[in-house]
Amino acid sequence: MTQLTEPTDQRLAKGARARATIAQRAAELASVEGLDGLSIGRLAADLGLSKSGIATLFGTKEALQLAAVQTGRDIFVERVIAPSLAVPRGIERIRTLVDRWFAHIDEPPFPGGCFRVATLTEFSSKTGPVHDAVVADHDQWLAFLAAEIAKARDLGALPMVDPDLLAFELDAIVSAANVARQTGDSSRVDAARAIAARLLSPQG
């Protein structure tokens, strides 16, 4: 029984690694060329894989797009959210989240900058499962951020703030910073940081 199981497990692990590698490259390309610009042929050429192999793993272009969206989400969680959860809830956690969010912009894991900003712009007026995944990712992040802001308010910080409004404002500011960073305008990235800091100050 063991001899039959181990090769199967190895194949599954190899397939999972291949999927992760392909999804990562798909997210990198999509950050620059858009999710609609993805093609199995381009990915196969970039990664030295066969088109049939990629098609076997993902089946459709839509599945590939959804995998890229999930990869972008996972990396954002890993870089921004997860480390911030080590900070006690309250204003310091909010500031840590925002600092890591800006770091995600300053040193982006994708060549096109923030994956969420790029894909949300591309798919905001479209319909279908990819649109739904992109919008859901964005909405869930804003809901998480607003909940953390509400907790900070309950603990005595930012007593007059509307959590949903502040989350929206911060999202708009960091999105603008991402565009500025991609166009090489570091002064506007610095300005965005200053605006965010002011919003999170006691008198903000």
Q: What is the DSSP letter of 186?
A: H
How many beta carbons lie within 10 A of that of residue 96, not counting itself? 17
Cα–Cα distance between 141 and 114 in angstroms, integer?
14
Name the architecture of domain 66-200: Orthogonal Bundle (1.10)
How many beta carbons lie within 10 A of that of residue 188, not counting itself? 15
DSSP string covering 55-75, please?
HHHH-SHHHHHHHHHHHHHHH
> Tokens 């181990």 — which residue?
6
Kindly report the pTM of this predicted structure. Answer: 0.86
pLDDT digits (tens, 9 = 90+) for 145-195: 999 999 999 999 988 899 999 999 999 999 999 999 988 898 999 999 999
3-state secondary structure of 150: helix
Q: Residue 117 has what pLDDT? A: 87
> What is the rounded radius of gyration, in angstroms, for the C-alpha atoms of the chain?
20
Could you tell me what percent of the chain has a pLDDT over 70? 94
Q: Give 39's pLDDT tier (boundaries 50, 70, 90).
A: confident
Six-digit token string for 27: 């997210």
Q: Residue 203 has what pLDDT? A: 58
Q: Give 5's pLDDT tier (boundaries 50, 70, 90).
A: low
User: Which are the contacts of 35, defined by CB distance < 8 A and separation ≥ 6?
Assistant: 65, 68, 69, 119, 122, 123, 130, 134
DSSP string covering 82-103, please?
HHHTTSPTTHHHHHHHHHHHHH
> Tokens 């291949």 — which residue?
18
Q: Residue 16 has what pLDDT? A: 81
Cβ burial, residue 52 (10 Å; 0-12/13-18/19+): exposed
Residue 15: is its pLDDT beyond 80? Answer: no
Cα–Cα distance between 170 and 181 in angstroms, integer?
16
Annotated domain spans of the chain: 66-200
Residue 128: is its pLDDT beyond 50? Answer: yes
Cα–Cα distances (Å) from 137 to 14, 83, 141, in that order, read 28, 19, 6
Region 90-97: mean pLDDT is 96
